[in-house]
Amino acid sequence: MEKQITNTKVLVTGGAGFIGSHLVDSLLAKGNEVVCLDNFATGRRENLVSALTNPRFNLIEGDIRNRDVCRSALKNVKIVFHEAALGSVPRSIADPAESTSVNVAGFVNVLHAAVEAKVESFVYASSSSVYGDEEKLPKTEERIGTALSPYAVTKYTNELFGANFASVYGIKVTGLRYFNVFGPRQDPRGAYAAVIPRFVTALLRHESPVIFGDGTNSRDFTFVANVVSANMLAALREGSGHRVYNVAAGGRTNLNELFEALKEALVLRGVPCGDVEVKYAPGRAGDIPHSFADVSRAEEELGYRRLYDIKAGIREMVGYYMENYSNNE
């Protein structure tokens, strides 16, 4: 049985975002008191509709780069789940200074406030992007290459600070290298939207989604429930110091296969998109060609088990987009 966090005061930064809001809901369901710190840069109030009615939930609208805000968000907090960041490789290439400011300076701010508040455990979102140009598959934690984007540098820098703070201040810090997370609430809008919500909403509009490259780039697409479970296990891990773990489904799907799988799931639900074809555009700078995780370290040390493979995750997810995006945008 999975270890549980109960009756504990926790902070989720970025709790109004896609992954953070699922963490918030799961922590509230287990009887915890949850503080969410978010400035709504990319997060949405709709993601928190159920949390906002819960008396054990406290929303602080503020920026992780503000020290006083971080200090007040951390009062009496025992566990931190740090999700707040500016995601997206292309966003970081368009504005590296802003991604670095939020993802690095903001990270250090939250981590230092967590040291001051003497939290028991600090878990943060790293990323598979830290593997950069390392070609070996599957990716194992100890072998990383050269970063291919400013975003990847920010996430790798988090890992350096995580290890440094663990040794300088004695705080227990755990980095989770998420691999292409997907699920309900992932935002399909805007230039920096992730591939799965972009494809699903295009199919719902009976439009051709765009694949950058020839569609043979592959990813280890990971349903969000796997990520929530890994966070809980990581927060309760034995030992001290800094440790990083791959969090993934441990499968490999290329973008052409992904498109077909999404189309099939929607057709099965009665969406008339069976004849939609993809469009191809030139590959994008900063994209890793293949990403596929070895999750054995998380399995052995955290007791992590994949709860959903990609197909089961897609089945769980499509209903959300059908309900929320069938008739607009």
Ligand X SMILES: NC(=O)c1ccc[n+]([C@@H]2O[C@H](COP(=O)([O-])OP(=O)(O)OC[C@H]3O[C@@H](n4cnc5c(N)ncnc54)[C@H](O)[C@@H]3O)[C@@H](O)[C@H]2O)c1
Among 9, 30, 41, 309, binds ligand X (CB under 6 A): 41
* Cβ distance to ligand X smaller for residue 40 or 116: 40
Q: Which stretch binds ligand X (CB under 6 A): 31-39, 73-81, 198-206, 254-262?
A: 31-39
Instruction: Report residue 55 as tokens.
Output: 């008396």
The phi and psi torsions of 289 (rounded to 5 degrees) equal -65, -45
When asked if residue 261 is in the footprint of ligand X (CB under 6 A), the reply is no
When asked if residue 86 is in the footprint of ligand X (CB under 6 A), the reply is yes
* Cβ distance to ligand X smaller for residue 192 or 208: 192
When asked if residue 98 is in the footprint of ligand X (CB under 6 A), the reply is no
In angstroms, give the least distance from the CB of 221 to ligand X.
Answer: 9
When asked if residue 144 is in the footprint of ligand X (CB under 6 A), the reply is no
When asked if residue 38 is in the footprint of ligand X (CB under 6 A), the reply is yes
Strands 57-61 and 173-178: unpaired
Q: Which stretch binds ligand X (CB under 6 A): 14-22, 112-120, 256-264, 305-313?
A: 14-22
Given 151, 245, 304, 321, the catalytic residue: 151
User: Residue 75 CB: number of other CB atoms within 10 A?
Assistant: 11
* Separation CA 151–CA 147 (nearest Å): 9
Cα–chain center distance at 40: 16
The residue to which tokens 């499509």 are assigned: 318
* Cβ distance to ligand X smaller for residue 204 or 230: 230
When asked if residue 85 is in the footprint of ligand X (CB under 6 A), the reply is yes
The contacts found for 94-100 with CB under 8 angstroms, 24 or more apart, are: 96/150, 99/150, 99/151, 99/154, 100/150, 100/153, 100/154
Q: Which stretch binds ligand X (CB under 6 A): 33-41, 263-271, 277-285, 308-316?
A: 33-41
Tell me 46's DSSP state: G
Are 159 and 219 in contact by the 8 Å Cβ rule? The answer is no
Contacts for 244 with CB less than 8 Å, ≥ 6 apart: 126, 141, 159, 162, 174, 175, 176, 177
Among 11, 51, 64, 202, binds ligand X (CB under 6 A): 64
* Separation CA 200–CA 144 (nearest Å): 32
Contacts for 75 with CB less than 8 Å, ≥ 6 apart: 117
Among 102, 211, 276, 278, binds ligand X (CB under 6 A): 102
When asked if residue 106 is in the footprint of ligand X (CB under 6 A), the reply is yes
Mask for 151-190, x = binds ligand X (CB under 6 A): ---------------------------x-xx---------
* Cβ distance to ligand X smaller for residue 259 or 276: 259
In angstroms, give the least distance from the CB of 191 to ligand X.
Answer: 13
When asked if residue 28 is in the footprint of ligand X (CB under 6 A), the reply is no
* Separation CA 95–CA 246 (nearest Å): 27
* Cβ distance to ligand X smaller for residue 179 or 259: 179
Active-site annotation holds for 321: no
Q: What angle do CA 29, 179, 248 make, to 5 degrees?
A: 65
In angstroms, give the least distance from the CB of 275 to ligand X.
Answer: 29
* Separation CA 20–CA 48 (nearest Å): 10
Contacts for 251 with CB less than 8 Å, ≥ 6 apart: 220, 221, 292, 309, 310
* Cβ distance to ligand X smaller for residue 151 or 259: 151
State which amino acid sits at residue 243: R
Q: Which residues bind ligand X (CB under 6 A)?
A: 14, 16-20, 37-43, 63-65, 83-87, 102, 106, 125, 127, 178, 180-181, 194
Catalytic annotation, residues: 151
